[in-house]
């Protein structure tokens, strides 16, 4: 790149990671500017070096716990889970043991030794060309950077450099760096790497910070102090904007604000199509603190209550009473609307202390219903708590990650056994409580007609269904362009699941990112879905779309789109329809 020698306006594009608009001066931050000292030590200094190292590890641990707590309180359990993995990396016996051993062998200061160990370890992970292991290498670097800062006393320029409103430009942002960004100063951020599903992008959306990732090469070098406009909705960064562009941007901001205000007026209305078909519009919840957002969004209940937070936010397992009180509080808060309690979906990238043995491929390992059936005592405790909360008459139970009939039958047996115990103990519960499953594996989709005979409802988990169906790691930035929710194969699976549900007289919902993507809503409703459950922030836009089109038109559209052979054709057709029928949502 050339150095800036002009004040002329120019634009750089990237992946739209977090919607919204921002304008401020750029702040270029290099997070890798820590100098690692290297010097020899004597034999009698090794003990002191180990003590210094242990102090740095302990200090880092407290910092990570503090960050995790802050993220949990401000963003929710899902984002806070990232730091569980970081704490495990920090105390990894292999890394600590290798550092101690190398200290004795090399007789170098601990910074140099630890740096050598980390370099060797991360390069080994990355050489395996496995996307999951590459992500773990990034975690190791993030954690080790903090350890180096505590060893050297160099705490970098990140937080201290942010004195006034700015748009941050960085090669990458780790979860801990993103979590610590001062929201009142950082108007937006741009990174050169990352995908829409990278940690930084996910956290930007949670923090409501406009963001672009995967920025293309700029025609000139970006420098701190340059004035810029950031459009996170379209993935555009405008440097040195002209007065005309600034005026256009201001008008865009005004229209965006007007849209938000208009959508707020839909809060008390129902999600009903022009020809009077009601679509149940629910919201997802991660922690109890999200409950006010559910009611504020205008959702009709909770379509996905992620119970994992009860298990991961504490050092010990929650007992039956603790779980019961949490489920009861949530059920009472949305009554008379329904709440779907998902049983523990742990595993994959969501860890839970000593209960887990390391899987070679965690996403295909012992997770969700597999984990619960392997730990029946833990599962029975949760089921009893959910059954007791069902006295509110609006509770449903849902099993995640089902891949075959035997898992459903085993779970049903445990549920019936716990019901009988409650009867014998005189403890009330809803005898008619509904049981459903998440359909998120290709095998479950293909035998949906069999599974439908055993449960009361389906909820399609699109995030994993897409990932497993087209064999795409949704966290891999190199494959982001292949992660296609409108892949014809995925749409046929969704249609098959819905048809199987209706042919067996049960209802079928859909949760996950697709449910909150307003441009996809006409297709999903046209395919026959009965319920959509999205993040609370997306509910008003989804409702606006449903109220804009008739069900008959959406059915015709879905039939038409199922004849197309490529994801891009389908998206283009949906984009065309959306811009004609609800153009304001594209602002």
What 3 state SS string does 114-158 have? HHHHHHHHHHHHHHCCCHHHHHHHHHHHHHHHHHHHHHHCCCCCH
Q: Which residues contact 458 (CB under 8 A, 6 or more apart)?
A: 436, 437, 438, 439, 448, 451, 452, 497, 498, 500, 501, 506, 507, 508, 509
209-233 burial code (b ≥16 CB/10 A, e <16): bbbbbbbeebebebeeebebbbbbb
List the catalytic residues.
199, 511
Please report, for residues 322, 361, 364, 445, 493, the alpha-carbon distance to residue 473 in angstroms, rounded to integers and kept in the order given. 35, 12, 12, 19, 19
Q: How many residues does the chain have?
A: 587
Identify the burial level of 184 via C-beta atoms within 10 angstroms of its C-beta, where 0-12 means exposed, 13-18 middle and 19 or more buried.
Answer: exposed
**Residue 416: other Cβ atoms inside 10 A:** 10
141 close to 118: Cβ distance less than 8 angstroms: yes
User: What's the N-to-C CA distance of the chain in angstroms?
Assistant: 32
Place of tokens 């836009």: 541
432-457 burial code (b ≥16 CB/10 A, e <16): ebbbbbbbbbbebbebbeebbebbbb
Phi-psi sector, 167: left (phi>0), alpha (psi -120 to 50), beta: beta
359 close to 321: Cβ distance less than 8 angstroms: no
- Minimal CA–CA distance to 440: which of 345, 358, 356, 366? 345
- CA separation for the pair 222, 169 (Å, rounded): 8
Helix 93-106 crosses helix 46-75 at what angle (to 10 degrees)? Answer: 150
Tell me the residue ranges of DSSP E strands in 129-248: 166-170, 186-191, 211-213, 227-231, 236-239
| Omega before residue 336 within 30° of 0, cis | yes
Phi-psi sector, 430: left (phi>0), alpha (psi -120 to 50), beta: beta
254 close to 229: Cβ distance less than 8 angstroms: no
């Amino acid at each position: 790149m050339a150095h800036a020698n002009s004040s002329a306006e120019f634009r750089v594009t990237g992946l739209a990671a977090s919607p919204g608009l921002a304008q401020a001066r750029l702040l270029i931050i290099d997070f890798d500017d820590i100098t690692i000292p290297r010097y020899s030590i004597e034999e009698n200094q090794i003990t002191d070096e180990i003590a210094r190292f242990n102090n740095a590890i302990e200090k880092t641990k407290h910092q990570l716990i503090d960050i995790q707590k802050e993220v949990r309180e401000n963003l929710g359990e899902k984002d806070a889970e990232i730091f569980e993995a970081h704490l495990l990396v920090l105390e990894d016996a292999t890394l600590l043991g290798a550092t101690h051993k190398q200290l004795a062998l090399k007789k170098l200061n601990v910074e140099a030794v630890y740096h050598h160990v980390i370099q060797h370890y991360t390069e080994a992970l990355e050489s395996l060309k496995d996307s999951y292991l590459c992500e773990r290498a990034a975690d190791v670097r993030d954690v080790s950077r903090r350890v180096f800062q505590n060893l050297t006393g160099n705490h970098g320029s990140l937080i201290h450099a942010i004195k006034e409103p700015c748009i941050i430009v960085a090669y990458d942002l780790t979860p801990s760096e993103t979590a610590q960004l001062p929201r009142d100063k950082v108007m937006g951020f741009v990174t050169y790497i990352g995908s829409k599903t990278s940690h930084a992008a996910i956290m930007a959306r949670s923090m409501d910070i406009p963001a672009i990732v995967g920025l293309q090469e700029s025609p000139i070098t970006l420098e701190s102090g340059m004035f810029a406009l950031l459009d996170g909705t379209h993935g555009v960064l405008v440097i040195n904007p002209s007065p005309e562009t600034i005026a256009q941007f201001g008008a865009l901001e005004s229209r965006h604000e007007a849209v938000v205000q208009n959508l707020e007026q839909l809060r008390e209305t129902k999600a009903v199509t022009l020809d009077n078909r009601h679509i149940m519009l629910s919201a997802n919840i991660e922690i109890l603190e999200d409950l006010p957002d559910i009611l504020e969004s205008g959702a009709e209940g909770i379509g996905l209550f992620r119970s994992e937070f009860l298990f991961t936010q504490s050092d010990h397992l929650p007992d039956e009473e603790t779980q019961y009180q949490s489920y009861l509080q949530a059920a009472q808060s949305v009554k008379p609307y329904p709440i779907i309690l998902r049983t523990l979906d742990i595993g994959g990238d969501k860890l839970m202390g000593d209960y887990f043995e390391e899987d070679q491929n965690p996403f295909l390992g012992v997770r969700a219903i597999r984990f619960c059936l392997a730990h029946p005592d833990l599962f029975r405790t949760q089921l009893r708590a959910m059954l007791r909360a069902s006295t509110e008459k609006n509770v449903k139970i849902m099993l995640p990650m089902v891949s075959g009939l035997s898992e459903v039958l085993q779970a049903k047996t445990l549920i019936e056994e716990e019901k009988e115990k409650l009867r014998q103990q005189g403890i009330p519960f809803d005898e008619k409580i509904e049981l459903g499953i998440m359909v998120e594996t290709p095998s479950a989709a293909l035998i949906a007609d069999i599974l439908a005979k055993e449960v009361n409802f389906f909820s399609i988990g699109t995030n994993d269904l897409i990932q497993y169906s087209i064999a795409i790691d949704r966290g891999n930035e190199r494959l982001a362009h292949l992660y296609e929710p409108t892949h014809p194969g995925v749409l046929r699976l969704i249609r098959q699941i819905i048809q199987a549900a209706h042919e067996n007289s049960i209802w079928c919902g859909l949760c996950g990112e697709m449910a909150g993507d307003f441009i996809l809503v006409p297709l999903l409703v046209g395919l026959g879905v009965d319920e959509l459950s999205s993040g609370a922030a997306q509910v008003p836009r989804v409702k606006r779309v449903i109220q804009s089109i008739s069900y008959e038109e959406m059915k015709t559209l879905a039939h038409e789109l199922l004849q197309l052979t490529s994801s891009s054709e389908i998206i283009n057709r949906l984009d065309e329809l959306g811009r004609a029928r609800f153009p304001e949502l594209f602002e």
